[in-house]
Structure 1
Amino acid sequence: MSAVPPEPTPSQAPPTLATPTREPEPTSTKPSDFPKVKLRLELRDLSHESTDLFLKNFNSAKDFADLVDVVLKRLYTFPNHDDPTTSLPTPSTTKIPGTRSVTLILRDMDGVAYTTGSDIDNDHKEVHLSLSYLNHVASARAGYTARDEILGVVCHELVHCFQWNAKNTCNGGLIEGIADWVRLNAGFVPPHWKKEAGKSWDTGYQNTGYFLDWIEKSRGTGSVYVINQALCHQKYHEDTFWKDLFGQSVDDLWTEYTESLKKPKDSLDDSSLKMQVRIKKEVEGHS
């Protein structure tokens, strides 16, 4: 499991930006409205075969910055108030952790990746990525390449550099679920991911990520934004946290989600209708 550093110092961000959209690649080309972050790359073993694999599949001059922008947009943009898929109140302010730098370190280690604060201070983050793991995923699979996996893993870990954690009290499954929700909505979906109900809502990773995606669609676009902002302002108490935000306990939300998975795939629920309205509006706006 990826380690989440202690609570960082916040900075201000614009309260309302355009609604984020799914994109299969990091594609930001405009100057970001978010605070600039120093990005560094550290290669600890140039002779390792996975180092060459990484460099061939990751443009460190562009992909790194684009992924940071992807993460910040999905965590810290709130949809326009007239968006028909949004039922949540417009927030007055948005606070972003005061992360000043992120160093991506490639080294030979067990596991996949983890994130931690650096020795300088906690506003300087380190993302450690396993060369051994990259060697394991080197072979391309139909519709999914080593580049897809590298972008997906780095995207997940970057979320840990910029998300809130309720003053170190947040449920670990929610922390990991938010990271995989961002990865899911950025389009970096591994072939083994499945939208299914696990043992509990806080199993973490894609299991919780898909649950959060359902909340986003059923309770209003910007729901994950609201969850993350709540984790900035207060400690996490499960018996009140979810009810304060959505008027239901997380167990009730989870039950509703698991029931939704039993519906025929071709049936249209309320979230599907909302999505159709938004797509229709976007199409009409470009016609």
Structure 2
Amino acid sequence: MSFSGISAMDYYVTNEAANTPGGIRFTNEVGIPYTKHIMGTINEFIWSTLFRQTDPSDRKPIDSVEVYIVEFDGAEGISWGNNKINVSLIFLKGYPGELKWEFTSLFYHEMTHCFQWDGEGHAPIELVEGVADYAKLIGGYAQEGFAVPGQGERWDQGYDFTARFLEYCDGINPGFVAKLNKKMRYDFDVKYFEDLTGKPVDQLWRDYKAKYGQ
């Protein structure tokens, strides 16, 4: 990897159920080498493009990301413990489409959780999830059914709905998500939206909906 500092990051992947249907499908269709490769690629994307953290002191102080292929239900994957990602064997077994593509999309989301700031827990979880889905969107891995611009009931609805709103805010202030992430290093205040765009978030949402005729 060419991006400054990327070589200092280590990536670990453990398939804890290699002989199960999900574990076998992971090995055959995705694999540990590919997983480590995309982890490096996405890590570089997060630092250079998503959060524009050219200064290493702006980044979260982690030096590794660990991935575990394990059995759990209710989600394709979850991030936990600051730098760990679990991927569901149930998802791997049952996903009906192109698994490698969907797996990559998932990692744009989950890797973002490892590196984003969340106001030391004060940022709304819906916004945190929206930023992670925004990574998928601008990384070119928004899956089929992803929200279209203007869709949603409120700005903090979360996931793809909030991602599309963040995309709109980026059109007002290029690099908006990177700047918002930097502001959320130690705390969160909804006023950050106004600081960056000149408008309160509720006005931004009304303008966003009006732009798309909703």
TM-score (norm. length: structure 1): 0.67
Contact 2:133–2:159 (Cα < 8 Å) also in 1: yes
Shift of 1:256: 0.8
For residue 159 of structure 2, what is the aligned residue in structure 1? 205
Contact 1:242–1:248 (Cα < 8 Å) also in 2: yes
Contact 2:126–2:156 (Cα < 8 Å) also in 1: yes
Structure 1 outlier segments of 4+, above 6 Å:
91-94
- The C-alpha deviation readout for 1:162-206, integer Å capped at 9, x for no partner, is 000112101111100100001111111111112143221111100
Contact 1:94–1:229 (Cα < 8 Å) also in 2: no
Contact 2:15–2:68 (Cα < 8 Å) also in 1: yes
Query: Residue 67 of structure 1: which of 17, 28, 42 is its match?
Result: 42
Query: Residue 136 of structure 1: which of 94, 115, 138 is its match?
Result: 94
Query: Residue 99 of structure 1: which of 53, 62, 86 is its match?
Result: 62
Shift of 1:92: 9.5
Q: 1:92 to 1:245 in 2, by over 3 A?
A: farther
For residue 34 of structure 1, what is the aligned residue in structure 2? 5
1:193 counterpart = 2:146: yes
**Aligned residues: CA RMSD:** 2.1
> Which is worse superposed, 222-231 or 57-66?
57-66
Contact 1:116–1:127 (Cα < 8 Å) also in 2: yes
Letter in 2 for 1:160: H
Which structure exhibits the higher relative contact order, with contacts defined as CA atoms closer than 8 Å and separated by 6 or more residues?
Answer: 1
Contact 1:177–1:206 (Cα < 8 Å) also in 2: yes
Provide the rounded CA distance (Å) in 2 between the counterparts of 1:198 and 1:156: 20
Provide the rounded CA distance (Å) in 1 between the counterparts of 2:50 and 2:197: 18
Shift of 1:222: 0.8
For residue 252 of structure 1, what is the aligned residue in structure 2? 203
Q: 1:162 to 1:208 in 2, by over 3 A?
A: same
Contact 1:75–1:163 (Cα < 8 Å) also in 2: no
Q: Percentage identity across aligned positions?
A: 22
Q: Which has the higher helix share?
A: 2
Contact 1:160–1:179 (Cα < 8 Å) also in 2: yes
Contact 1:177–1:207 (Cα < 8 Å) also in 2: yes
- The C-alpha deviation readout for 1:8-40, integer Å capped at 9, x for no partner, is xxxxxxxxxxxxxxxxxxxxxx42213521110
For residue 114 of structure 1, what is the aligned residue in structure 2? 78
Q: 1:106 to 1:259 in 2, by over 3 A?
A: same
Secondary structure of the residue aligned to 2:120 is coil
Secondary structure of the residue aligned to 1:41 is strand
Q: What is the 5 A alignment of 1:268-279?
A: none
Letter in 1 for 2:59: I
How many residue pairs get aligned? The number is: 208
Provide the rounded CA distance (Å) in 2 between the counterparts of 1:260 and 1:94: 38
TM-score (norm. length: structure 2): 0.89
For residue 16 of structure 2, what is the aligned residue in structure 1? 44
Shift of 1:151: 0.3
Shift of 1:93: 9.2
Secondary structure of the residue aligned to 1:40 is strand
Largest Rg, 1 or 2: 1
Q: Structure 1: which 5+ residue stretches go unaligned?
A: 1-29, 79-90, 264-287
1:57 counterpart = 2:57: no
Q: Structure 2: which 5+ residue stretches go unaligned?
A: none
Letter in 2 for 1:202: D
